[in-house]
Chains A and B, each alone.
Chain A
Amino acid sequence: MTADDAIAYASIAELGQRFRRKEISPVEVTSALLARIERLEPKLHCFVTLTKERALSEARAAETIFARGETASPLLGIPVAYKDIYDTRGILTTAGSALFADRVPDADATCVTRLQGAGMVMMGKVITHEFAMGIQFPGHRYPAATNPWNLEHMPGGSSSGSGAGLAAGLFAGATGSDTGGSIRGPAAFCGIVGIKPTYGRVSRAGVITLSWSLDHTGPMTRTVEDCALMLQVMAGYDAADPACSQRPVDDYVTPLRQGIRGLRVGVPRAYFFDGIEPEVGTAFEASLRELEKLGVTVRDVEIPSIHTAWASMAILLTEAFAYHERDLRERAQFYGDVLRERFQAGGLITAGEYVQAQRLRARLRAEVDDVLKSVDVLATPTMPATATAFTKVFDPSFGFPRSNTAPFNFTGLPALAVPCGFSSAGLPISLQLAGRAFEEATVLRAGYAYEQATEWHTRRPPV
Chain B
Amino acid sequence: MLTIDQVRARMKAAGIEIAENRLEMVRILLSNALGPVHALDSRTVRTVEPAVTFEAE
User: Which residues of A are at the interface with B, using a C-beta cutoff of 8 A?
Assistant: 198-200, 213, 243, 245, 247, 307-311, 313-314, 317, 328, 338, 341-342, 344-345, 347-349, 353, 355-363, 365-366, 396-397, 399-400, 411-412, 436-438
Given contacts A313-B29, A399-B29, contact A412 B54 (CB under 8 A): yes
- Please give the number of chain B residues whose Cβ is less than 8 angstroms from any Cβ of chain A in the complex: 35
Closest chain B residue, CB of each to CB of A309:
B36
User: Which residues of B are at the interface with A, using a C-beta cutoff of 8 A?
Assistant: 7, 10-11, 14, 16, 18-19, 21-22, 24-26, 28-30, 32-38, 40, 42, 45-52, 54-56
Is A338 a contact of B22 with CB atoms below 8 Å? yes
Nearest CB on B from A435, distance (A): 12
Is B50 a contact of A348 with CB atoms below 8 Å? no
Distance, CA A308 to CA B37, complexed state (A):
8
Nearest CB on A from B30, distance (A): 6
Apart from the given pairs A247-B56, A359-B49, 16 other A-B contacts in the complex at a CB distance below 8 Å: A200-B54, A247-B55, A310-B33, A338-B25, A341-B25, A342-B29, A344-B16, A345-B29, A347-B14, A357-B37, A359-B40, A360-B40, A363-B45, A363-B47, A366-B47, A396-B21
Is A365 a contact of B52 with CB atoms below 8 Å? yes
Most central of A199, A311, A400, A438 by chain B CB within 10 Å: A311
Distance, CA A356 to CA B24, complexed state (A):
24
Most central of B19, B29, B49 by chain A CB within 10 Å: B29
Contact of B33 among A328, A349, A363 (CB under 8 A): A349
Is A200 a contact of B55 with CB atoms below 8 Å? yes
Please, which residues of chain A bring their CB within 8 A of the CB of B28? 399
Distance, CA A243 to CA B51, complexed state (A):
13
Most central of B26, B28, B36 by chain A CB within 10 Å: B36
Distance, CA A200 to CA B49, complexed state (A):
19
Listed from nearest, the 8 A-B pairs whose CB atoms lie closest are A313-B33, A358-B50, A308-B36, A348-B10, A341-B22, A314-B33, A311-B36, A438-B56
